[in-house]
Amino acid sequence: MDKIRVTGGNQLEGAITISGAKNAALPLMIASLLTEETLTLENVPHLADVESLIRILTNHGVDYRVEGKRKGQDSRQGRTIEFTAGAIVDTTAPYELVSRMRASFWVIGPLLARMGEARVSLPGGCAIGTRPVDLFIDVLARLGADIKIENGYAVATTADGLVGAHYEFPKVSVGATHVALMAATLAKGRTVLSNAAREPEVADLARCLKAMGARIEGEGSSTITIDGVERLGGARHRVLPDRIETGTYAIAVAMTGGNVLLEGARPELLESALEALRSAGVGVERENGGIRVTRGNEPIRAVDITTQPFPGFPTDLQAQFMALMTRADGTAEITETIFENRFMHVQELARLGAHINLDGQTAVVEGVDELHGAQVMATDLRASVSLVIAGLAARGTTTVNRVYHLDRGFERLEDKLSRCGAVIERVSE
Ligand code: EPZ
């Protein structure tokens, strides 16, 4: 199994191109199930999760074609992939495929809306909490589906198609909002979703669905109104830049010091995280086509954060920010409110010499003068990258095991960091 070996101490200098967002690409790909015409997605990142979802979609009958590079196109740009669900040949998403990645459960929305039936295995994914599916079941039932859980599968049917309704989410859920949005595009009449997720990836999905002919208003706010249409058609859509990758590299520069331009990054997608970095004493400036992040020799200030749904501080940057706080001048409190078990990086950061005490959903991080390299391992994607970031600033060599977590969500991580001067390599065994 591959490992990443990082030797700390170098400042990061140069430029990093930000990839298309994993968490936008996945629902966009799933939206291709809603039409028999071709959905072309540009800027699709090359990630293990994208490949897993391609396997699931092809199992339902989706054909896909990766477009060749156009003349003058940079090899670092994401791929353009055409998805065509001419005929849905199977409405079952089996355990073997779905258990690897939670987002694959989301096929339930478009399959049900287009075919009137779906049988989807209950999901797996990163081990960051129990992650139930009650909200999906609740909202689809409100749209008229009959849903049962049978032998580990959610089995959904509708006799006469979905019917628009008003649904207020009792809790903000990105995935359940994606699914409700996709399902409602083909429902009869109007659907109003209240307390919907406002994440930029939800708005990106809505923009793509509109290009396919859907009638949607209010995306990006907590109330989304969808007027169902008879059918959707093809479209061409560019995946928005990855705000979590952006924040991760910004934190890496904050950690090591240096000066890096994050090319293609959009500051409005992660204002709360950039604000936390500014409070920590890091230079963050919008620059033509991206964000410039700088830190000189000044100390990192301790900053308390609490994760919240968008536009609050993202849970997907919590582990990385904690890594930064391990080197802060003072004590920071980091509170996780989205997932109940998202502190697995704490004990691994401690192996590098961090001082962190857990108090329920809050981690109290007391900054130390120095981290030192060690063997570490992580059980989820963002936790793994927090260990890489910590390793970049640790004395000596850090080996991060179980790299497959990183490959799920970070495109060419070692390449991007080493181009900026980091000493980092992948070791295959
Ligand atoms: C999405 O997961 C992201 N995944 C996650 O990123 C991200 O951490 C999360 O949103 C929150 O921002 C993708 O976009 C592919 P939720 P999702 O439904 O949709 C509870 C990463 O590292 N809940 O918004 O699964 C749930 O348990 C990943 O890229 C229910 O209770 O998250 C959680 O506590 C990890 N019942 C909260 O809601 C439900 O039916 C928010 O989860 C559904 C969710």
Q: Indicate which CATH number applies to the domain containing 313.
A: 3.65.10.10
Q: Which of 57, 126, 187, 273 is catalytic?
A: 126
- 259 and 150: one domain? no
- Give the model's confidence band at 374: pLDDT under 50 very low, under 70 low, under 90 confident, else very high: very high
- 30 and 131: one domain? yes
Q: Is the pLDDT of residue 182 over 60?
A: yes
**Cβ of 146: how many Cβ atoms within 10 Å?**
12
- 217 and 301: one domain? no
pLDDT at position 128 is: 46
Look up residue 191 and give its two tokens.
């659907």
Question: Strand locations in 336-390, DSSP E?
Answer: 355-359, 362-366, 375-377
pLDDT at position 132 is: 86
Q: How far apart are CA 288 and CA 283, in angstroms?
A: 16
Last residue of a domain, one of 238, 266, 293: 238
Q: How far apart are CA 155 and CA 153, in angstroms?
A: 6
Spatial CB neighbours of 371, under 8 Å, sequence gap ≥ 6 = 8, 326, 327, 352, 353, 354, 390, 393, 394, 395
- Give the model's confidence band at 203: pLDDT under 50 very low, under 70 low, under 90 confident, else very high: very high
Q: Is the pLDDT of residue 97 over 90?
A: no
8 A C-beta contact, residue 77 and residue 43:
yes
Q: How far apart are CA 233 and CA 138, in angstroms?
A: 28
Rounded percentage of the chain residues whose pLDDT exceeds 70: 96
**Residue range 314-362, pLDDT digits in tens:** 999 999 999 999 999 999 999 999 998 899 999 999 999 999 999 999 9
Last residue of a domain, one of 238, 272, 295: 238
Provide the residue range defining the domain that includes 364.
Answer: 2-18+241-428
8 A C-beta contact, residue 204 and residue 174:
no
pTM (2 d.p.): 0.96
- 217 and 192: one domain? yes
Q: Is the pLDDT of residue 75 over 90?
A: no
Q: Is the pLDDT of residue 402 over 70?
A: yes
- Give the model's confidence band at 137: pLDDT under 50 very low, under 70 low, under 90 confident, else very high: very high
8 A C-beta contact, residue 44 and residue 81:
yes
- 122 and 69: one domain? yes
Strands in 79-84's sheet, in edge-to-edge order, are: 63-66, 79-84, 38-44, 235-238
Rounded to the nearest integer, the mean pLDDT of the chain is 95
Last residue of a domain, one of 222, 238, 254: 238
The residue whose two tokens read 């993202």 is 314
pLDDT at position 130 is: 57
- 103 and 231: one domain? yes
Query: How many structural domains does the chain have?
Result: 2
Look up residue 336 and give its two tokens.
């996780």
- 13 and 26: one domain? no
3-class SS at 319? helix
Q: How far apart are CA 231 and CA 217, in angstroms?
A: 18
From the CA of 174, how far away is ligand 1's center (Å)? 6
Residue 186: closest CA among 395, 23, 33: 33
- 155 and 300: one domain? no
For ligand 1, residues with CB inside 6 Å are 23, 26, 102-103, 126, 129, 131-136, 171, 173-176, 315-316, 338-339, 381-382, 409
- 228 and 340: one domain? no
- 147 and 292: one domain? no
- 126 and 259: one domain? no
Treating both helix axes as pointing N-terminal to C-terminal, what angle do 271-279 and 243-256 enclose, rounded to 10 degrees?
10
More confident residue, 378 or 244: 244
From the CA of 65, how far away is ligand 1's center (Å)? 29
- Determine whether 208 is an active site residue: no
Q: Is the pLDDT of residue 86 over 60?
A: yes
pLDDT at position 131 is: 65
Residue nearest to atom 16 of ligand 1 (CA): 173
Q: How far apart are CA 427 and CA 46, in angstroms?
A: 20
- 96 and 145: one domain? yes
